[in-house]
Chain A
């Protein structure tokens, strides 16, 4: 199925869900839950909180779906709800940014998606790399974490992130540039060995 067909199907699901079709909403949930959960996890750094906030995000989406005018904007709109939930949560918790040393290796090990075909040595190196990347992202400010997670994990473009966060595109670009610079410094040995895209 090509990209256009996938998008048409997604828009159809949104319209059906707007008419109260729960099965359509469940499909939207299944399509987006991992990305929303991943972004929230990067923002709040707790699996329990990320789970609760993801559930709240989808309940809020179900409640307000009737107010969404453009079905094509569903994903950006959903991320906006999630980002607002995370922001409120962080305000309540006043979560500090975490230094790389403070993060337990165990919590990072959970963030790994190892390649099953890799040998034990490669697997260990891959785990270490993923763990370091995750820890480096955790050391950024909440605003920068949100942009990084939406851009690299959620695959949103700059304009979509700007809409989701309710900030100008220039702000997203500058946050992205600063976050990338910080990550480049913190992950220097891994950056040197990475492929160019």
Chain B
């Protein structure tokens, strides 16, 4: 092994990121190269100095109060809301399927019951940031229905 390769491996070796084969080759090189040995010593000393001396100011004591005060205002993406989101998407998909079904029966009379429900759902889910995809799906469906009626 040449010294430039060994020096490149030394940094990986210090970070415990050298495979067993390269580690053995490096150790064999270190056994006969005083320059690379002194390089390893300097590297270990730098590591030691940084581990011991690298500090930071103490974190302010009142940070938790600030975080806790704002946690309620933050909409969480917990398992419950994921389920609610999935339910919203499923409802939207069911409504869209329903709309596609009515398109296949052009002579069927317009069913007014769906539209107020869709409008109410859009209004209620509009306030829920996780339900906006469901809302958009519904809005698209409602708009498509309106366009269809105007065409007639």
Nearest CB of chain B from residue A123's CB, rounded to whole Å? 14
Q: Is A118 among interface residues, defined by CB-CB distance under 8 A?
A: no
With A and B bound together, what is the CA distance between A37 and B67 in angstroms?
14
The number of inter-chain residue pairs (CB within 8 angstroms) is 147
Given contacts A111-B56, A130-B55, contact A55 B45 (CB under 8 A): no
Contact residue among A19, A25, A183 (Cβ-Cβ distance under 8 Å from B46): A183
Q: Which B residues, 32 to 51, have Cβ-Cβ distances below 8 Å to chain A?
A: 41-51
> Do B50 and A51 touch across chains, with their CB atoms under 8 A apart?
no
- Having A55-B70, A137-B54, A158-B16, one finds 10 other A-B pairs with CB under 8 Å, namely A30-B64, A33-B64, A34-B58, A37-B57, A38-B56, A39-B56, A153-B56, A158-B15, A177-B11, A197-B48
Q: Total interface residues on B, using CB and 8 Å?
A: 42
- Of the stretches B78-86, B96-104, B113-121, the one at the interface is B78-86
Pick from B15, B50, B67: contact of A183, CB under 8 Å: B50
CB distance A191 to B45 under 8 Å? yes
Chain A residues within CB distance 8 Å of chain B: 18-20, 22, 25-26, 29-30, 33-34, 37-39, 41-42, 47, 51, 54-55, 58-59, 62-67, 110-113, 129-130, 133-134, 137, 148-149, 151-153, 157-158, 169, 173, 176-177, 180, 183-184, 187, 190-192, 194-197
A112, B68: Cα distance in complex, Å: 29
Q: Is B106 at the interface (CB under 8 A from chain A)?
A: no
